[in-house]
């Protein structure tokens, strides 16, 4: 019972609201707010939209920088006082990359270990209580199901 609760807590820990972050792209400091879906250079704010392989940035003068499958264009004359569209989209790569790092990988490893060897998982969590004890078939099944859930959660986090 501990493992599903711990797995749920791990999942909920990854659901915190996104926080704005700063990034330097091409020598330009940019602030990305994924909740408001805005990139700012400190002077101007550029709303953005992303759907699949389509990315758009809207400039203050309503010019739109549009990129799809690596082909980019402006729908009008780009004013040089604004940050270039490719620089803004490079800053957004961090916003669209999803969850990365060691946490999802650790979930996958723990989940696959539970799937591969539920007896080892049982011993790791409860063997100190018993002497020469063995897990029941139900305990092994629960460990396998919990491992599957944790591994799938890890893959889902990587896919975000």
Instruction: Please report the pLDDT score of residue 45 as a whole number.
Output: 93
Are both 87 and 108 inside the same structural domain?
no
Which parts of the chain have pLDDT scores under 50? 1, 15, 95-98
Compute the distance between CA of residue 140 and CA of residue 147 in angstroms, rounded to an integer.
10
Residue span of the structural domain in which 43 resides: 21-96
Instruction: Please report the pLDDT score of residue 97 as a whole number.
Output: 47
Compute the distance between CA of residue 88 and CA of residue 70 in angstroms, rounded to an integer.
14
- Tell me the pTM: 0.49
Instruction: Please report the pLDDT score of residue 47 as a whole number.
Output: 93
Q: Using the 3D structure, point to which of 72, 96, 120 is the last residue of a domain.
A: 96
Are both 29 and 88 inside the same structural domain?
yes
Are both 88 and 109 inside the same structural domain?
no
Are both 42 and 91 inside the same structural domain?
yes
pLDDT digits (tens, 9 = 90+) for 82-94: 988 888 888 877 5
């Amino acid at each position: 019972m501990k493992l599903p609760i711990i797995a749920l807590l791990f999942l909920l820990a990854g659901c915190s609201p996104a926080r704005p972050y700063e990034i330097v792209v091409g020598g330009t400091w940019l602030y990305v707010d994924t909740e408001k879906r805005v990139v700012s250079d400190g002077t101007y704010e550029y709303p953005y939209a992303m759907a699949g392989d389509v990315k758009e940035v809207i400039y203050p003068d309503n010019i739109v920088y549009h990129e799809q499958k690596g082909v980019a264009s402006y729908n009008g004359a780009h004013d040089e006082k604004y940050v270039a569209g490719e620089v803004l989209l490079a800053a957004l790569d961090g916003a669209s990359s999803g969850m990365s790092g060691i946490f999802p990988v650790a979930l996958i490893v723990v989940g696959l270990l539970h799937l591969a060897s539920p007896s080892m998982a049982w011993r790791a969590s409860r063997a100190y209580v018993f002497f020469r004890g063995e897990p029941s078939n139900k305990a092994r099944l629960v460990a396998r199901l919990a491992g599957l859930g944790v591994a799938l959660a890890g893959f889902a986090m990587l896919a975000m």
